[in-house]
Amino acid sequence: MTAPADESPPTLLDYFLTLETPEGLRAELIEEQIFVTPAPDGDHEDHLSTLVRQVLRRSRTDMDCSAHKGLKTYGIPDATFAPRARRLFRGAPTWMPCDGVSMVAEVTGRDAHRDRVTKRRLYARAGIPLYLLVDRDKATVTLFSEPVQGDYAEPHSVPYGKPLPLPEPFGFDLETSDFA
């Protein structure tokens, strides 16, 4: 495919945005690579459900949550949380801006390195204040905060069974014993 002289050639992002992913798969564009992954397993979804239930029930601020919502980072977090008063998800495009997102969460899946490192940097570069990682292989829950220069400056990790303090706007201790 040759671009006319007055047009730029298509970019990887252009191709990505026109990608038609088969049902049951999701595609993400992370650090100039396209990843296509199958639906998560049942244990992954059980951990995610445990997390979401606590955040929605115990948070000091009334929160909305969207599972598997595409963000303008071109990554798809397992869960995205934003204050209900902001109504960020209503009318949002397929790839939603990150402004106003309070926290994203991932539960490690088939490629734990992507969740531990690549997606962590992706969310930090987007300025998302909090990134929560439930690491099934390590049996830990880590809260990353203070995004600066493409990473989070403050990681705080606890083993399953120990509470993990979530700062405002959440303002409660996440119970992690149900992840074990």
Digits of tens for pLDDT over the chain (180 positions)? Answer: 555 566 888 999 998 999 999 888 889 999 999 999 888 999 999 999 999 999 999 999 999 999 989 999 999 999 999 999 999 999 999 999 999 999 999 999 989 999 999 999 999 999 999 999 999 999 999 999 999 999 999 999 999 999 999 999 999 999 999 999
Percent of the chain with pLDDT over 70: 97
pTM value? 0.91
The highest-level CATH class for domain 40-179 is alpha beta
| pLDDT score of 133 | 98
Number of H helices, E strands in the chain: 4, 10
Give the integer Cα–Cα distance in Å for 60 and 102.
Answer: 13
| pLDDT score of 165 | 98
| pLDDT score of 2 | 54
Helical (H) or strand (E) element with 79? strand 79-83
| pLDDT score of 23 | 86
Give the integer Cα–Cα distance in Å for 67 and 52.
Answer: 9
| pLDDT score of 6 | 67
Give the integer Cα–Cα distance in Å for 152 and 154.
Answer: 6
Pick from 153, 154, 152: which is nearest to 165 by CA? 154
